[in-house]
Amino acid sequence: MTTFAYALPDPALNLIEEAVCQICSMPMVDPRILSCCAEAFCFDCLLHLPDGLCPTDRTPVGAVEELPKLAIKIVLRRLGALLVFCPNRALGECDWKGARENLEEHIARTCQNTPCAHVADGCTWQGRARDVQSHVNDECRFRRQRMAERADLAQPDVESDEYPVGNPERLRLARWILNEVASMSMTHPASANGQ
């Protein structure tokens, strides 16, 4: 779910009622309108409804991705103007604070504290968001370490590709590893040959 560290003590204060999501009680993020009640809620809040029912009239919500976006300009303007901190602030030296509508551009273009996708494994690399994927593909030792750990799994017992005798999850994982190694040798022939 999308979360923001707001630069105001109470970000819902001084907002018009239509700008506050009735599910999370916070300023709406990517608001979507339900046709059953004509109310707007955060996209992520609707996506994660535990029962999939409208919070107002308890009818099924359906495909959240297909719901129309809120188009009331004054509401969207007030939501976009809310002051937020960069979400990478706790991970590095980024002290950016600005309008919520500018956060995505800040992360994409200027923030140099976006963590590696393997930060939970212990990777301490930080950089621009656009450089994360190349770091993971080319440099991250934790990605290579995880692939090596998976490759060390005992081979599953298999009569044929279609009828596994052993654990089907291990067979799926073994196939994934083989595909990853094959794709790495195609994109990085030198590293695949151990050079």
For the chain, where are the E strands, in sequence order?
5-6, 31-33, 40-42, 83-85, 97-99, 114-115, 126-127
CA distance 164 to 156: 8
What SS3 state is found at 53? strand
Does 158 score more than 50 pLDDT?
Answer: no
Range of 11-20, 30-39, 168-177 with top mean pLDDT: 30-39
Lowest mean pLDDT among 34-48, 83-97, 138-152: 138-152
Does 159 score more than 90 pLDDT?
Answer: no
Question: Which secondary-structure segment (H or E) carries 188?
Answer: none
User: What does CATH list as the number for 1-111?
Assistant: 3.30.40.10
Nearest residue to 80 (alpha-carbon basis) of 43, 29, 39: 29
The band of 41, judged by pLDDT with boundaries at 50, 70 and 90, is: very high
The band of 195, judged by pLDDT with boundaries at 50, 70 and 90, is: very low
Does 2 score more than 50 pLDDT?
Answer: yes
For 69-79, how does the pLDDT look when each residue is reduced to its tens digit (9 = 90+)? 999 998 999 99
Sign of the CA dihedral running 130, 132, 136, 139: positive
Does 114 score more than 90 pLDDT?
Answer: no
Alpha-carbon distance values, 87 to 92, 113, 171 (Å): 10, 9, 38
Q: What is the pTM of this model?
A: 0.60
119-128 mean pLDDT: 86
Tokens found for residue 3: 């979360």
Mean pLDDT of the chain: 79
126-147 mean pLDDT: 84
Lowest mean pLDDT among 36-40, 122-126, 156-160: 156-160
Domain ranges for the chain? 1-111
Which one is predicted more confidently, 14 or 80?
80
Does 113 score more than 90 pLDDT?
Answer: no
**Tokens 């103007």 label which residue?**
81
